[in-house]
């Protein structure tokens, strides 16, 4: 009996969900841009994302919302294209989002130019986008800039710059950034790192 009730509730919820999506689609057709975006999200995320036909339809509604000025819809388009490795499709959306200060978009563009995804590989542009993402408190981007200065990719190798960007990563909440900065700072101050045996002994200190 309980299972029947649960099943009935599930069917009722699904019915409400479908009705809600249909209402959003109708509102979209009537010119409500935010409804286009809501309908697109509903059709392209969650369980629906596993159905390629529904996902494609959802992305079409999101694209329509973007065309009519819904900025977050443009952000979503860039994220989806990048996630699906459609870098050529992602790039124009990501550029617009990055100009508006969306950290994930700037970081994605840094990766696109770093790895040459559907573009000519460009270390300078990669660093510029990563630096912008870092300035927006993107910890991973800060680490990427540190690596760029460590390896001298499109820049003169600089230990001070590497250390600076590890500090920025640390300030943005990265444990890797903090440990890398501390290690470099200790070395600069002449503080020796504990050996393996000392690290093991430290585990048993209370």
DSSP-derived secondary structure for 92-153: HHHHHHHHTT-HHHHHHHHHHHHHTSSS---HHHHHHHHHHHHHTT-HHHHHHHHHHHHHTS
Higher pLDDT, 198 or 126: 126
Radius of gyration over every alpha carbon of the chain, rounded to an integer in angstroms? 24
Distance spanning both ends of the chain, measured CA to CA: 57
Dihedral sign, CA of 112, 66, 36, 38? positive
The whole-number pLDDT of residue 204 equals 53
Residue holding tokens 């600089």?
Answer: 158
Mean pLDDT within 162-167: 97
The answer to the question of residue 176 being in a domain is yes
The answer to the question of residue 154 being in a domain is yes
Pairwise CA distance, residues 73 & 71, whole Å: 5
Pairwise CA distance, residues 39 & 20, whole Å: 9
Percent of the chain with pLDDT over 70: 84
C-beta of residue 58 within 8 angstroms of C-beta of residue 50: no
Tens of pLDDT, residues 57-82: 999 999 999 999 999 999 999 999 99
The answer to the question of residue 161 being in a domain is yes
The answer to the question of residue 9 being in a domain is no
Mean pLDDT within 92-114: 97
The whole-number pLDDT of residue 13 equals 39
Higher pLDDT, 57 or 19: 57
pLDDT at residue 203 greater than cutoff 70: no
The whole-number pLDDT of residue 87 equals 97
Both tokens assigned to 72: 């977050």
The whole-number pLDDT of residue 97 equals 97
C-beta of residue 103 within 8 angstroms of C-beta of residue 141: yes
- Residue 125, judged by CB atoms within 10 A of its CB (0-12, 13-18, 19+), counts as middle
pLDDT at residue 200 greater than cutoff 80: no
pLDDT at residue 15 greater than cutoff 50: no
Higher pLDDT, 116 or 198: 116
Tens of pLDDT, residues 172-188: 999 999 999 999 999 98
The answer to the question of residue 19 being in a domain is no
pLDDT at residue 14 greater than cutoff 50: no
For 165, the domain range is 139-192
Both tokens assigned to 76: 């979503």
The answer to the question of residue 181 being in a domain is yes
The whole-number pLDDT of residue 193 equals 63
Count structural domains, the chain: 1
The answer to the question of residue 182 being in a domain is yes
The whole-number pLDDT of residue 17 equals 47
Higher pLDDT, 104 or 32: 104
The answer to the question of residue 102 being in a domain is no
- The runs of H, that is alpha helices, within 30-86 are 33-44, 52-67, 71-83
């Amino acid at each position: 009996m309980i299972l029947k009730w649960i099943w009935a509730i599930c069917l009722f919820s699904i019915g409400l969900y479908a009705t809600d999506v249909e209402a959003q689609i109708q509102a979209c057709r009537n010119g409500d841009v935010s409804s286009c975006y809501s309908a697109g999200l509903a059709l392209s995320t969650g369980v629906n994302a596993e159905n390629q036909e529904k996902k494609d339809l959802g992305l079409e509604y999101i694209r329509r919302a973007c065309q009519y000025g819904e900025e977050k819809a443009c952000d979503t388009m860039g994220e989806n294209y990048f996630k699906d490795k459609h870098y050529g499709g992602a790039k124009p959306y990501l550029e617009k989002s990055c100009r508006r200060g969306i950290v994930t978009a700037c970081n994605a563009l840094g990766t696109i130019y770093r790895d040459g995804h559907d573009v000519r590989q460009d270390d300078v542009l990669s660093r510029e986008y990563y630096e912008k993402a870092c300035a927006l408190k993107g910890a991973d981007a800060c680490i990427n800039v540190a690596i760029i200065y460590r390896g001298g990719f499109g820049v003169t190798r600089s230990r001070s710059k590497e250390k600076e960007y590890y500090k920025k990563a640390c300030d943005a909440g990265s444990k890797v950034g903090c440990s890398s900065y501390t290690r470099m700072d200790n070395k600069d101050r002449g503080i020796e790192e504990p050996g393996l045996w000392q690290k093991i002994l430290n585990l048993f200190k209370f």
